[in-house]
Structure 1
């Protein structure tokens, strides 16, 4: 017999805390002042990135309920996984073969039951995916936020109705945040309150890589020099470039950390100097970075990379890794003059740039990069976002007759 608490198909499932290691996890440092319901296309235990950084910090001020997309199971139930006293992940489990309409009906019902059970009536709705509107249209939050971290409609396998749902979400949203400057420029004419919040950095965490950390076991056997990539491995990577680069430089080791999604792993280039080590815990990344010589962003130039602002760029730099990147607009405009970023497009250009980066020594450039990174922490980003939230809530609470 299960010892999980079950309420109308809702099960609470305890799990260890998985907040950022350098984040203050004290559950009672600040009293929560409300609830924040987040609807995400990304899973909490996937690659640790923007949603986790921001909402871990948001849990200082709100109870966070992180609603993920459904997973297939033998029966229908809602998993409730507490990560801390103020942060819970909710995962709908649906029977195999459940159609879209039934999925939306079940999620709407579970959401209503969970809100009633937890007495959640005065809350903020925070969206990462417009598709969640299909089962949340009935909600009447005090404030609706759309944190548009990517142009999801340009990604492989995007739902056909995503653009339609995004248009509706933009109409409902009180505030729109974007994950980069290019994305801000694309969205600013669509809403009166769009704010750019590009990728930030946990400098303390990735700065550990500068301390000559022990080489992880699955990397120890690899020769040097090592050129690394960390992140999701999907249609955005230029596999032809990687294949040619690895063939041109058999003396270099190319290391990839991250899950393979939306593409067939068999399509990835293979070779004795190409190493796919899989997804690693956030805590483990500094040790890998500490034993690389150069980091790279070998993205293809297509619709799926047009608006991206890779989180890994500042993380590499915080780890004191020179970076060679494809000409991604937000990477170039943010770090193009730092002296530690090389821009390349072809395999030959990547080879030349990596060769230069391996030999480059410039303490002045590193000092300038550190100064830049100190101004773009996740804590500062959340503080600015929270200020906008609070200002909007306070303004909404003032009767219209008293507003300027």
Structure 2
């Protein structure tokens, strides 16, 4: 049975996304998977339970006999070269020990900096897979840091036995930047956990609603995800100010400064457990993905659209190449005028045929199917 070490940028106990999902599904497909990640020193706004029984204080966790989690503290302020080097040496020592104990067949890296965690011995013994889920060189950083990311990414591409990307745009970026063949890159899009995002879960909702309406005619209009600089908060505020009868919910951790003066029909709920997210979606009339377009966002194959669609809801999302594939099921906007128009007409009536089409699309794009595609490489 094959053994996989998956090195993730994302703490296991954070918003559940591609790394956690792929590892869970691979373990269900009879791979031994170890999930290796960095955890924050402070839990506030950096750690999120997936279910009620999770113990977020543990560093080493055995989820099943085929899936283990290894969470590691490192020295903060890793942006400084000396600290970054110390952290890299520490994590390399940890991975050397894991490799010695488990003799992994595959090591999956998810960021260029993780190359520094792998000794020469490991690079020679295991097959290195690069699972690239963002356009890292386009993140805000100084010139030195950008050049460093590009240099490390080029090295990973040169030594990787396989390169996986989450979007077509990332694939095009890698081809353009590093002059590599398109045949050397496999696109495995993001997906949805159809067991969790299941419309039948709505029957579990009690008479106590999770999202309170402002009034009887108010629609619940919801964004779910990290509230960061890629979210067009001004557009949401302007919309709430115009559609005063509706209630706007922003559900998720906040890592930007939020204006102190907000319309009283905007509610920030903070993050919610993964197992409860379908219930919040189910109570909403309209779901939003109001992203600002930049080079990072243009490379995102959005997990939230798959999850919204699995619940059959009306969705309004920013239009760009990666969302165009959803265009028959999602309302895409390029301007404030279009956004307002869709807000004005949606969430009032249900079309059962459209709901079924959305759910069927989600089922065809499950994390189970993504993991199966990955196993074609992990042989």
Q: Say yes or no: TM over 0.5.
A: yes
Equivalent residue number for residue 255 of structure 1: 249
Q: Distance in 2 between matches of 1:186 and 1:289?
A: 33
1:225-304 matches, within 5 Å, as 225-261=219-255, 263-264=256-257, 266-267=258-259, 270-304=262-296
Is the contact between residue 96 and residue 119 of structure 2 (CA under 8 Å) also seen in structure 1? no
Equivalent residue number for residue 30 of structure 1: none
1:5-404 matches, within 5 Å, as 33-60=1-28, 61-69=30-38, 71-72=40-41, 79-95=59-75, 99-116=83-100, 119-138=101-120, 139-140=122-123, 141-156=125-140, 159-160=145-146, 161-188=148-175, 190-191=180-181, 192-208=183-199, 211=202, 213-214=205-206, 219-220=211-212, 222-223=214-215, 224-261=218-255, 263-264=256-257, 266-267=258-259, 270-332=262-324, 334-338=325-329, 341-390=330-379
Q: Distance in 2 between matches of 1:81 and 1:327?
A: 40
Structure 1 residues 207 and 169, CA, compared in 2 at 3 Å: closer, same or farther?
same
Q: Distance in 1 between matches of 2:35 and 2:262?
A: 38
User: 3-state DSSP class of the match of 1:303?
Assistant: coil
User: 3-state DSSP class of the match of 2:328?
Assistant: coil
Is the contact between residue 220 and residue 249 of structure 2 (CA under 8 Å) also seen in structure 1? yes
Gaps of 5+ in 2: 43-57
Is the contact between residue 71 and residue 91 of structure 1 (CA under 8 Å) also seen in structure 2? no
The structure with more radius of gyration: 1
User: 3-state DSSP class of the match of 2:250?
Assistant: strand
1:305 is displaced (CA, Å) by 0.9
1:172 is displaced (CA, Å) by 1.3
Q: Distance in 2 between matches of 1:178 and 1:329?
A: 15
1:86 is displaced (CA, Å) by 2.2
1:135 is displaced (CA, Å) by 2.0
1:307 is displaced (CA, Å) by 0.9
Equivalent residue number for residue 24 of structure 1: none
Is the contact between residue 37 and residue 124 of structure 1 (CA under 8 Å) also seen in structure 2? yes
Is the contact between residue 92 and residue 119 of structure 2 (CA under 8 Å) also seen in structure 1? no
Which contiguous aligned blocks of 4+ residues in structure 1 show a shift greater than 6 angstroms?
A: none
TM-score (norm 2): 0.83
- Number of equivalenced pairs: 347
Q: Distance in 2 between matches of 1:180 and 1:216?
A: 39
Structure 1 residues 268 and 83, CA, compared in 2 at 3 Å: closer, same or farther?
farther
1:222 is displaced (CA, Å) by 4.5
Structure 1 residues 210 and 89, CA, compared in 2 at 3 Å: closer, same or farther?
closer
Report Cα offsets for 1:312-338 as digits up to 9, x if no partner: 112111111111111132112x11123
- Aligned-residue RMSD, C-alpha: 2.5
Structure 1 residues 112 and 220, CA, compared in 2 at 3 Å: closer, same or farther?
same
Structure 1 residues 114 and 174, CA, compared in 2 at 3 Å: closer, same or farther?
closer
